[in-house]
Amino acid sequence: MDRFEQAYEEYVKNSEAYYTPPEANSTHITAVRKNEGGDLIAFKTNTGEELDYVQALDAAKNGQLSGVDVFQKYGREIIRSEPDGTKENNFDHLPEF
């Protein structure tokens, strides 16, 4: 294994140590709405609340949504499901509402 692979493996190992799955009583995304281009435009939570993209972004930034990451891409903030190795809870695999 070269140093790049080793560094990546160490990164993944350390990341997994800090990941905690959403708690049963935490608010998390359970369904999504996409536009015709396939972009995520709205989210539904386990509490039944429907959030537009900006509301979901603000909730994630304020720590009110578990299982969601906020980061910069394309010159703006975007949200994605936390990379936890489980396809079923990735936003692209969630049911649509």
Q: Return averaged pLDDT per consecutive 10 residues of the chain, 97 residues in all.
A: 86 63 75 94 96 95 92 90 77 92
Check: pTM over 0.75? Answer yes or no: no
How buried is 8 (Cβ within 10 angstroms: 0-12 exposed, 13-18 middle, 19+ buried)?
A: exposed
Which pLDDT score, from 0 to 100, does residue 2 have?
Answer: 85
pLDDT value at residue 49:
97
Residue 15 has what pLDDT? 64
